[in-house]
Structures are given as structure tokens and as C-alpha cells.
Chain A
């Protein structure tokens, strides 16, 4: 009884640990094994292919497009949400009226799935239905916005919708961090006669470092998981010009009955995640105590 009480805290963690060990690490291990088999429609562990599955994925033209898009999308999506999120947070923090309403407006896209907003976005992007037509009818005859129809521009439409969805969340993170800054540091800076932009640049923004880190990680994992976004907006098209690693993985596993290749691409995605997240976790946990 006494030992039980002594280890009670650890014991309460146990159910969660078991769940996560099985459903995260167990399943990842399974995916790795799967990627070495010749599984087609369903997992089969009786025929082995080895690492050549990885070579097949790596050399596939669609994977090439997916990686290139992932770089464009990742950089612009994370950068865009950070920039807009930070800007909105700073502006909203200027004691504006109707702060609550504005905050809610910026935040609500996070509440919506792309199953809900997908069609609306398709329309907005479609030149014959959406913004282009609206502006032309309102009198701006030469207005053009037909990126979604162009193979080399469509990925930027995906970025726009992604930024729309997640910027508000980043704003909330930054706003929270701004409100948490120690006021004494700021009054000290003001006593030194620093101008407002200088204070922001040299004092406030550096103080937001933890929020930046959190935001980059949250956005980074959303970028890697982004799937609904592409499916709702372009279904990967025109052609397969808006393919992302996640759509590649889904397509090969479930549409093409190439489960082993899908698993290989999944493992490569996981490696990407690890490269992104482990340094963060390390620094986060080391600075903690």
C-alpha cells in the first residue's frame, strides 16, 4: 500500500503512456516495417522489398513536385502566419476599440474545417466566380486573380487559404505573450527615451522568443499535416502541381494500392517532423527547470 502510494503519480501516467506507446510509437514502427515490404492493398509482411521502396518514392516525379511544394508552402505558410499574426497582435494591442470582436474575427477560421470552407474558397479563387469577377463587376476592369488555374501559381492559393486559417491562432499566441511581458522592462526602455518602433524592435520582439518558438512548431506540424487544405482547394491540381507529401502519402496508400510506397513516404515525412521538432523539444525541456 505504501509503495503504491509512493508511485501513485507515476502510475497515473501509465494509461496515457501505454496508449501513446502503442498508438504513436508502435504504429510508427509498424509503418517503418511496412515500408520495407511489398504491401499493395493491405499490409502484408510475408514479402520483402527492402529500401528500394524509398528509392522509388524519391525518384517519383510526383514526390519531386511534393517536396518542392512543401518547401514553398512550408516557408510561406509559416512565414506568412507569423508575419500577419505578429502584425495583428501588435495592432490589436494598441488599445483599440472592439478588441474582442476583432480577435474573434481573426480567430474563427481556426474553428472551421476545410470540409466546411472548401467550396467557398474554391469559388473565391475561381476567376469566373470569385474575387476576379467581383472586382471587375465593381469597376476594376483589369483586375486579375486566376492563380488557381495555373500550374505554377496554384500552390500560392493553397498558401493563402492556409494563412487565412492559422494566422488568428498565431495572433492569439503573440497577443498572449505581449500581455505577459514584464512592464518594468518597458518603462525602463521608455525612460531611456527610445521611440516606439525601437522599443518594439529591440525590446518587445526579442521578449517574444518563446512565443515564436511555440508558433513555429505549431505551424510546422500543421504544415506537415496539411492535407484537407489541398484536397478542398485543388485536389492536387492543375495536373498534380499542388501535391504535398501528405497528399502523396494518402494517394499512394489508399488510391493506388501501393501501401509500401505510401509507408515509405510516411517515414520520410516523419523524419522531416523529427528534424523539426526534436531540437525544439530539447531546448524547451532543457530551459525548463
Chain B
């Protein structure tokens, strides 16, 4: 009885499983809806037109956390996907474990070295070999303003924190919520890293990129938490748990004056039938003109062996083509990871981003974003986020927060 039922079980179910064919790519990602799904469809269609099939393995949730869990299960089972969407630090950590393939051939043929900013290459390459194809560059430290409110109160987008708080006072006096903020650790960290960068790019480099203990215990970090506390005072009481897109909607609807959030917020603006830079103003967060934080989505290529390698190389080449990077980033709200894509089809905010990128690259002020997986490996990143969110959601003093931050980061290192 046991035996027959088991055989029936295997017989019935084997028929339902089909393996990936050699001319297919299986892609794990978390772009499941809206502009992102549209963006990734561009790649799928492009590949299919070239005869390479696309097997979709999307897992949404937790800003990629759920997808990374699935990825781990797949790799542990010895069945990795052909390619997986990853942020920079993940690429590095997976390469460290020795699971990623080699894209040097296609990278050399297509000249990736010449068109991708060095700071992005640092993540896409491991040990001098290309292992992942970068498709975009997001910039997390934008400030979005309701044109209606700014006009009504005769204000300009703030360039310094003093101007920011002056504007916030005016907005509150006029009965608006000054700062639209979502309540999740990564959103609070998005603001905090913008504050640190605004104090000085050097501080960002020493305290975040280098995780230097002296820098973490410095008066400037205390100052960053003081600014966070002041910002908190202008946030409405219902912010906890709010999704970022609902906070953006408050700015779009003219209920709130400003939001500090990455350029993916543009997708919401466009979806609402408005134009970024017109009804919703865009600028860089206070004090960060001339500097540039980025986060980049990569397609990391797993070492899947000979017969699938050709399809994999096709996919890498497609993902890095000028036409794809243009179409993808128009749909996604980011700017291309290639610097030679013409900017004329992009909106004014993206064009500003492109110009700023060139400026920051030249000045050496282009850094990976901590909140978005390009500053520190996951364990240390989380140590920062723990303290930032703890401080923002309690009445912890700035001095205590700075001390807790240094302790937390040093313990995780």
C-alpha cells in the first residue's frame, strides 16, 4: 500500500515538472507590479524576440527580502536561477561565496568598462571579473515638494536645513503636514543618510562607507540625530508603518509639503497623471548638491554551466544595451547605469540626476546608499538601521543615539 501510493505519487507529479531548457533564462526578481513590472517586461520581450525564452520567478515582499530567501533556498538545493535581481552588496556577498559566473567576454565585447561609472563597477565586478549587469541608478536623496503649497506660501525648495525648517514652519502655520514620512526602518534610514551626506560628503564616507568608529562617535553624527529629531517634529502622528507611496500621495494630493525619498517616487507622480518637476517639484535633499548617493539593481549571473551560458550571455548583453537601458529606466524612474544613454527622452528630474552624476563622479562624491544595500554588508547595514529607527521612534537623545550607533556597528563588524 505504502509502496504503490508512493509510486503513484511520483508518477502523477513528475509529469507536472518541467526543467529549464538550454535556450531559456530563469530570472528571480521582485519587480511584480506597476512601472517595475512594465520595465522588466521590456527585457523579456527583447530576449524573446532574439529567441531566448524567459522563465519568470518573481517573489515580492520586504523590498527584496522574500526574493533573497527564495534565492538562498534555490542555491542551497543546487538549483540556482540563471539570473537574479540584486543590490550591490548582495552581488558582492554572493560572489564571495563563489556562486556567480563570469561575464568578461560579453563585457569586453560591449565595452562595459568604458560606460559604467567606477563606483558601480566596484559592485558589478568581483576580483576584476564582471559577475553582474547593472541596469539602473536610483538616487535616494531627493526632496519632493507640492508645487501648490510651495507656490501658495511663496517658498522655494530648501537648499539647507535652515531653509528646510523655515519652510516646514510656514507649512505647519498654513495648516499643512510639513513632512510626509513613511514609517519603516529603510525609509527612516533614507532620510538619515541624506542628512549625513548633507552635513558633509566626508562624514558620509568616514562614518558610513568606512564605518570608522571615531567618525561614528563624532559631534557631527550627534548633529545628524538632532536634525532627525527636528524632522520628526514635523511628521504627522500617523506615520508609523505607512508605506512610502502613501506618503508620496500626501505630497501629490497637496496635503503635505515635502517628502525625502528616492526617485522611484516619480512613478507615483506619473501614475497620478502629473509631471515630475511641474506639479511635484524635485530637488536634492538639503546640503547634498554636488554629491550623489546611488543604488543600482543588478542582474547577477549564476554559474549555471555550459549549456545555459549562451542564453545567459544574451541576457547580459540585452540588459546592458542602450535601447534597453533607456526603455527600462523611462519606465522605472531611475537613470541608466550606462552613462552614454542620451537623456533627451527623460524628464527634467532625471536629466538633473544625470548631470549631477557626472559632477559627483568627477568630484569623488559618488557613494553607495546605505539604506539601499550599497553602503555596508547586510549585517552591518542592519546595525545602522536598528539605531536610526529606534531613535526616530522613541525619545532617545541624539548623544545616546550616536553612542548606540557606534556600539551597534562595532558589534556587527
Chains A and B directly touch (beta carbon < 8 Å): yes
A interface residues, Cβ below 8 angstroms from B: 12, 15, 40-43, 56, 61-62, 122, 126-128, 146, 148-151, 154, 231, 234-235, 237-241, 251, 254-258
Q: Are B379 and A126 in contact (CB under 8 A)?
A: no
* Contact flags B1-38 to A (C-beta < 8 A → 1, else 0): 11000100000000000000000000000000000000
**With known contacts A238-B393, A240-B389, A255-B62, A41–B93 Cβ distance under 8 A:** yes
* Interface flag for B65 (CB, 8 Å): yes
Q: Are B238 and A237 in contact (CB under 8 A)?
A: no
Q: Are A149 and B386 in contact (CB under 8 A)?
A: no
Chain B interface, number of residues (Cβ within 8 angstroms): 34
Q: Are B241 and A122 in contact (CB under 8 A)?
A: yes
Classify the interface of chain A: helix, strand, loop or mixed: loop
Q: With contacts A231-B62, A241-B393 known, what are 14 further pairs, Cβ within 8 A?
A: A41-B97, A61-B386, A62-B386, A126-B238, A128-B238, A149-B238, A149-B241, A234-B241, A235-B241, A237-B241, A239-B185, A240-B185, A254-B68, A254-B69
Which B58-109 residues have a C-beta within 8 angstroms of A?
62, 65, 68-69, 72, 75-76, 93-94, 96-97
Chain A residues with CB below 8 A from B62, complex form: 231, 235, 255
Q: What is the CA–CA distance of A241 and B184 in the complex, to the nearest angstrom?
A: 12
- Chain A: which residue is nearest B64 at the CB level? A255
* Interface flag for B228 (CB, 8 Å): no
Chain B residues with CB below 8 A from A56, complex form: 411
Q: Are B393 and A151 in contact (CB under 8 A)?
A: yes
**With known contacts A41-B72, A257-B377, A257-B378, A237–B93 Cβ distance under 8 A:** no
Chain B residues with CB below 8 A from A42, complex form: 72, 75-76, 97
Q: Are A239 and B390 in contact (CB under 8 A)?
A: yes
Q: Are B2 and A237 in contact (CB under 8 A)?
A: no
- Chain A: which residue is nearest B393 at the CB level? A239
* Contact flags B101-138 to A (C-beta < 8 A → 1, else 0): 00000000000000000000000000000000000000
Complex A-B: 9 CB contacts under 8 Å? A40-B93, A42-B72, A42-B76, A149-B183, A234-B241, A237-B183, A238-B241, A239-B393, A254-B69
**With known contacts A42-B97, A241-B393, A255–B184 Cβ distance under 8 A:** no
B interface residues, Cβ below 8 angstroms from A: 1-2, 6, 62, 65, 68-69, 72, 75-76, 93-94, 96-97, 183-185, 237-241, 377-379, 382, 386, 389-390, 392-394, 408, 411
**With known contacts A15-B2, A149-B237, A151-B394, A254–B379 Cβ distance under 8 A:** no
- Chain A: which residue is nearest B408 at the CB level? A61
Q: What is the CA–CA distance of A31 and B233 in the complex, to the nearest angstrom?
A: 45
Q: Are A12 and B379 in contact (CB under 8 A)?
A: no
Chain A residues with CB below 8 A from B408, complex form: 61
Classify the interface of chain B: helix, strand, loop or mixed: helix
A-B contact count (CB 8 A): 87
A121 to nearest B CB, angstroms?
Answer: 11
Q: Are B2 and A12 in contact (CB under 8 A)?
A: yes
**With known contacts A42-B97, A240-B185, A254-B68, A127–B378 Cβ distance under 8 A:** no
Q: Are A238 and B183 in contact (CB under 8 A)?
A: yes
B70 to nearest A CB, angstroms?
Answer: 10
Q: Are B386 and A148 in contact (CB under 8 A)?
A: no
A138 to nearest B CB, angstroms?
Answer: 20
- Chain A: which residue is nearest B389 at the CB level? A239
A46 to nearest B CB, angstroms?
Answer: 13
Q: Are B240 and A149 in contact (CB under 8 A)?
A: yes
Q: What is the CA–CA distance of A151 and B76 in the complex, to the nearest angstrom?
A: 37
Chain A residues with CB below 8 A from B390, complex form: 61, 239-240
B233 to nearest A CB, angstroms?
Answer: 16
Q: Are B65 and A254 in contact (CB under 8 A)?
A: yes
Q: What is the CA–CA distance of A148 and B241 in the complex, to the nearest angstrom?
A: 8
Q: What is the CA–CA distance of A251 and B1 in the complex, to the nearest angstrom?
A: 43
Chain B residues with CB below 8 A from A122, complex form: 241
Chain B residues with CB below 8 A from A149, complex form: 183, 237-241
Q: What is the CA–CA distance of A257 and B379 in the complex, to the nearest angstrom?
A: 6
Contact of A237 among B1, B240, B411 (CB under 8 A): B240
Q: Are B389 and A256 in contact (CB under 8 A)?
A: no
Q: What is the CA–CA distance of A2 and B290 in the complex, to the nearest angstrom?
A: 87
Q: Are B386 and A240 in contact (CB under 8 A)?
A: yes
Q: Are B378 and A146 in contact (CB under 8 A)?
A: no
Q: What is the CA–CA distance of A149 and B386 in the complex, to the nearest angstrom?
A: 18
B66 to nearest A CB, angstroms?
Answer: 9
Q: Are B378 and A255 in contact (CB under 8 A)?
A: yes
Q: What is the CA–CA distance of A42 and B98 in the complex, to the nearest angstrom?
A: 11
- Chain A: which residue is nearest B385 at the CB level? A240
B280 to nearest A CB, angstroms?
Answer: 21
Q: Are A238 and B97 in contact (CB under 8 A)?
A: no
Contact of B238 among A41, A127, A234, A255 (CB under 8 A): A127
Q: Are B97 and A255 in contact (CB under 8 A)?
A: no
Q: Are A146 and B237 in contact (CB under 8 A)?
A: yes
Chain A residues with CB below 8 A from B240, complex form: 148-151, 154, 237-238
**With known contacts A237-B185, A240-B185, A256–B379 Cβ distance under 8 A:** yes
A148 to nearest B CB, angstroms?
Answer: 6
- Chain A: which residue is nearest B70 at the CB level? A254
In the A-B complex, the 3 residue pairs with the smallest Cβ-Cβ separation, listed nearest first, are: A239-B393, A238-B240, A149-B240
Chain B residues with CB below 8 A from A241, complex form: 393
**With known contacts A239-B392, A254-B68, A255-B68, A40–B241 Cβ distance under 8 A:** no
Chain B residues with CB below 8 A from A256, complex form: 378-379, 382
Q: What is the CA–CA distance of A104 and B6 in the complex, to the nearest angstrom?
A: 36
- Chain A: which residue is nearest B238 at the CB level? A128
Chain A residues with CB below 8 A from B237, complex form: 146, 149
- Chain B: which residue is nearest A257 at the CB level? B378
Q: Are B93 and A257 in contact (CB under 8 A)?
A: yes
A156 to nearest B CB, angstroms?
Answer: 14
Chain A residues with CB below 8 A from B239, complex form: 149
Chain B residues with CB below 8 A from A127, complex form: 238
Chain A residues with CB below 8 A from B2, complex form: 12, 15
Q: What is the CA–CA distance of A41 and B100 in the complex, to the nearest angstrom?
A: 14
Chain B residues with CB below 8 A from A128, complex form: 238
Q: What is the CA–CA distance of A257 and B378 in the complex, to the nearest angstrom?
A: 6
Q: Are B379 and A235 in contact (CB under 8 A)?
A: no
Q: What is the CA–CA distance of A237 and B72 in the complex, to the nearest angstrom?
A: 25
- Chain A: which residue is nearest B69 at the CB level? A254
Q: What is the CA–CA distance of A28 and B75 in the complex, to the nearest angstrom?
A: 21
